[in-house]
């Protein structure tokens, strides 16, 4: 069965302001290394899926930058959504795209990945992905990856795993999806052994996802054929925009996964981190004796628990300004060529609200 991969790379990453911007979002950032997160995602999947079978779905304004960053992926495989309508719409477009591209194939098995995850153990990832591919090829299941929790995390959703499949004990049936919990509930989840972090990565056959749309999100299912036809129409951009605009604004988790009865989970053996906020940096870079994590030119005398990140026009540390924090504690300080962010670490999740405030103040040049 033909194996393909879809990398979702359409988000703005507003929680990484001021580094992440509308035309330079976090999936293009080299936050803690020499390659962007998108480049890491492409390299991670390349041993298992040929470059001509890897697709990136992104926003219209990002397509040019994504093409420049995606390396070996053919430009024709960089697909621009007409507008952002959340992940269910993105993956409805992916279903239509696979049906339009692989007309000679009776079905395809699709891995869905994101461009903002950190995974270092690529061999374990490849092994787990092979398990998910094999299960999806032989079962009418929507397969996801569950990450064994290492802390009582309140910022992630959870997957509750049930009994293993008889023919492959590495794969378990999903009992339920759990929303982001309170700290007390997260501690309970940590102790059960059956609650896993919801990674937001999936594997399924195109036909199985199509049927899942029919059963759980019929308003999206109703547009699948029209989406496929729009991809090859002479007036493709205009027709695609019209059809895409009819899709519901809902995530694949809420719209499909939580409503479906045929969901399976692979308990991940690879390390994983969702690079979602500035506090994620503390898990990517080594802290000093006082718990400070720094990137670029930074001095933190008599300071503790701070995250300081300084870059310049190049988005690298070499031309960033010197940032000094004296006698401060538990702050996030981010310095870029044209803006500086200072906030308590505990407020890092709320940084996204800054984008709305900038729009209100007419400061769109900083978005």
Same domain, 170 and 290: no
C-alpha angle 228/257/262, rounded to 5°?
Answer: 95
User: 170 to each of 129, 140, 266, 314, how far by Cα in Å?
Assistant: 12, 17, 6, 44
DSSP result, 260-271: -S-EEEEE--S-
The rounded distance, in Å, linking the Cα atoms of 264 and 173 is: 5
* Boundary (domain end) residue, out of 274, 297, 312: 274
- Work out the average pLDDT over 123-134: 97
Residue 167 pLDDT level (bands cut at 50, 70, 90): very high
Largest CA distance in the chain: 65
Tens of pLDDT along 255-293? 999 999 999 999 999 999 888 889 988 888 899 999 999
User: pTM of the full predicted structure?
Assistant: 0.90
Same domain, 209 and 299: no
Containing structural domain, residue 286: 278-366
Report the 10 Å Cβ neighbour count for 202.
Answer: 24
Residue 252: exposure state from Cβ atoms within 10 A (0-12, 13-18, ≥19): buried
Same domain, 148 and 254: yes
- Work out the average pLDDT over 181-210: 96
Domain CATH for 226:
3.90.550.10
The total number of structural domains in the chain stands at 2
271, 120 Cβ separation under 8 angstroms: yes
* Boundary (domain end) residue, out of 257, 274, 291: 274
User: 364 to each of 18, 338, 356, how far by Cα in Å?
Assistant: 12, 13, 10
- Whether 205 has a pLDDT exceeding 70, the answer reads yes
Higher pLDDT among residues 46 and 31, named by residue? 46
* Terminal alpha carbon distance of the chain: 43
Higher pLDDT among residues 330 and 237, named by residue? 330
93, 224 Cβ separation under 8 angstroms: no
Same domain, 251 and 310: no
């Amino acid at each position: 069965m033909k194996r393909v991969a879809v990398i979702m790379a359409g988000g703005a990453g507003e929680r990484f302001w001021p580094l992440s911007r509308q035309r330079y979002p976090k999936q293009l950032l080299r936050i803690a290394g020499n390659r962007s997160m998108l480049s890491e995602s492409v390299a991670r999947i390349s041993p298992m899926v040929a470059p001509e079978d890897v697709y990136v779905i992104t926003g219209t304004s990002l397509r040019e930058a994504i093409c420049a960053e995606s390396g070996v992926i053919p430009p024709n495989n960089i697909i621009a959504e007409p507008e952002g309508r959340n992940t269910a719409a993105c993956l409805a477009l992916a279903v239509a795209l696979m049906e339009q591209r692989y007309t000679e194939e009776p079905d395809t098995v699709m891995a869905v990945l994101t461009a903002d995850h950190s995974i270092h153990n690529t061999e374990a990832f490849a092994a787990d992905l092979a398990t998910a591919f094999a299960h999806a090829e032989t079962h009418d299941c929507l397969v996801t990856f569950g990450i064994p929790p290492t802390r009582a995390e309140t910022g992630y959703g959870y997957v509750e795993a049930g009994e293993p499949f008889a023919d492959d004990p590495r794969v378990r049936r999903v009992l339920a999806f759990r929303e982001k919990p309170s700290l007390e509930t997260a501690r309970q989840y940590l102790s059960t052994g059956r609650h896993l972090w919801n990674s937001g990565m999936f594997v399924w056959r195109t036909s199985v996802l199509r049927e899942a749309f029919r059963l759980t999100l019929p308003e999206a299912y109703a547009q699948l054929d029209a989406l496929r036809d729009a991809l090859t129409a002479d007036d493709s951009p205009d027709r695609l925009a019209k059809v895409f605009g009819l899709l519901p604004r809902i995530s694949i988790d809420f719209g499909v996964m939580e409503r479906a009865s045929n969901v399976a989970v692979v308990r991940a053996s690879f390390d994983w981190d969702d690079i979602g906020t500035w506090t994620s940096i503390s898990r990517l870079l080594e802290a000093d004796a006082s718990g400070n994590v720094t990137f670029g030119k930074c001095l933190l005398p008599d300071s503790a628990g701070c995250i300081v990140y300084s870059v310049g026009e190049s988005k690298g540390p070499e031309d960033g300004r010197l940032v000094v924090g004296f006698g401060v504690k538990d702050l996030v300080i981010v310095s870029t060529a044209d803006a500086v962010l200072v906030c308590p670490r505990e407020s890092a999740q709320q940084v996204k609200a800054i984008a709305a405030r900038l729009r209100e103040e007419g400061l769109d040049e900083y978005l």
